[in-house]
Structure 1
Amino acid sequence: MHAIRIAFYLTGLLILSFGVTLTIKSDLGAGPWDALNVGLSTTIGLTVGSWVIIVGLILIVINALLLQEKPDVFAIFTILIVGGLIDFWLLYVLNQFDPTGLLFKIIVLMLGLIFLSLGIAIYLQAKYPLIPIDRFMLAIQHRLKVNLMVAKTIAEITALILALLFKGPIGIGTIIIALSVGPLVQLFFPPLERLRKKWS
């Protein structure tokens, strides 16, 4: 049972990070949080994956304060894996990949969106602690007593404002990703849940 959960967890993070990398490479705008990490990397230095880890650590502390509970230590492993994988894809696998032409960029963005959403739906099957970004949404919901959609919107707008401040890659892709990830995860989740239960 644990082996299956770990397999879903690691596979999901691998696919998720590949999707994030494709959205960045599309040059049409990354998701708000990924745009923030790219902006921080460009403005201050360090790799995008390093900023995934740093921002994740900051969010773990913020989430603990908002939820009035101990920091989610296990989530540190998640952000270390995701940060490392994003740098792996960006620096070693797709470092020479530079889509040209609007149609090709749109295809890359759409593929990135699909992989990103699929990866989230897979990693959620493991029932392990959430990525700090997802936990932040729940912490906002708890603190402000709003529904999940409002909490997600607040979290995404927060990241978007910060990404703009640090000159992150904001574009039409950012809006598409922000609006589409939730529905796509909802689409992928049920069949993956059935698959996990079958294998368990």
Structure 2
Amino acid sequence: MSNLVRILCYPLGLMIKSFGITLMIRSRMGTDAWNSLYVGMYQQFGLTVGTWVIVFGVLIVLLNARMKRKKPDLFSLMTVLVLGLCIDFWLSILRLAPLERTEQVLLFWAGLLCTCLGISVYVQGRFGLTPCDELMYNLCHRFGLSLSASKTVTDGCALLFALLLHGPIALGTLIYTFLSGPLIQFFIPKIRRLFGKSR
């Protein structure tokens, strides 16, 4: 994969991922724990969903830097900035409000697939982890947790606060939890082969 293609994968993947997140939010069938937290913050305190993505992202980047005793990761900051702005952009133009259950289901699954596809594309850029993923790894190293336990802790905290804030926790949240990993694993080798042929 050429450097140019690798660099382009980063913003392209984030745009696709943010589009997928927006579709899941609009489906009203639930989304992942972290984005449910951001929607809950928006519903309770105003601002925008994307703004809360950026606010929490910056706080987690600073927490990660303190845990590692290093300077904040600029690529992590850039990731949450781009992702937050893209989510607000898509939410502003995709004013969907599906009433039929079939429409909600289709919208959710389209969002889930786009989100996982977007993640599979932007990781090809190899610019680093998102703040939440980096926090997961930092907890592993700091407290000797397994990766699975660390992810459970971070996602569990986000889920708890999302529930307290009445975020969109629903069946879709459960589906995302169990299927996002396998879907990303399914997409990554195919994306790698696709972009590998573009050299």
- The TM-score by the shorter chain falls in which range? over 0.9
Task: Report deviation, 1:66.
Answer: 2.8
Q: What are the Cα deviations for residues 46-105 of structure 1, in whole angstroms up to 9, with x where unaligned? A: 0000000001001101222233332112211111110000000001x212x111111211
- Distance in 2, Cα, partners of 1:143 & 1:109: 36
Q: What are the Cα deviations for residues 18-70 of structure 1, in whole angstroms up to 9, with x where unaligned? A: 00001101101111000000000110110000000001001101222233332
TM-score computed with the length of structure 1 as normaliser: 0.94
Which residue is 2:109 aligned to? 110
Q: Does 1:90 align with 2:91?
A: yes
Which residue is 1:60 aligned to? 61
Corresponding pairs, count: 198
TM-score computed with the length of structure 2 as normaliser: 0.94
Letter aligned with residue 131 of structure 1: T
With 4-13 and 145-154 compared, the bigger mean Cα shift is at 145-154
- Distance in 1, Cα, partners of 2:147 & 2:23: 27
Which residue is 1:43 aligned to? 44
Which residue is 1:71 aligned to? 72
Q: What are the Cα deviations for residues 103-132 of structure 1, in whole angstroms up to 9, with x where unaligned? A: 211111111110000000100000002211
Q: Does 1:152 align with 2:151?
A: yes
- Distance in 2, Cα, partners of 1:165 & 1:69: 33
Letter aligned with residue 24 of structure 2: T
- Distance in 1, Cα, partners of 2:140 & 2:192: 25
- Distance in 2, Cα, partners of 1:129 & 1:195: 21
- Distance in 2, Cα, partners of 1:54 & 1:90: 18
- Distance in 2, Cα, partners of 1:103 & 1:140: 40
Which residue is 1:81 aligned to? 82
Q: Secondary structure at the match of 1:125?
A: helix
Which residue is 1:161 aligned to? 160
Q: Secondary structure at the match of 1:199?
A: coil
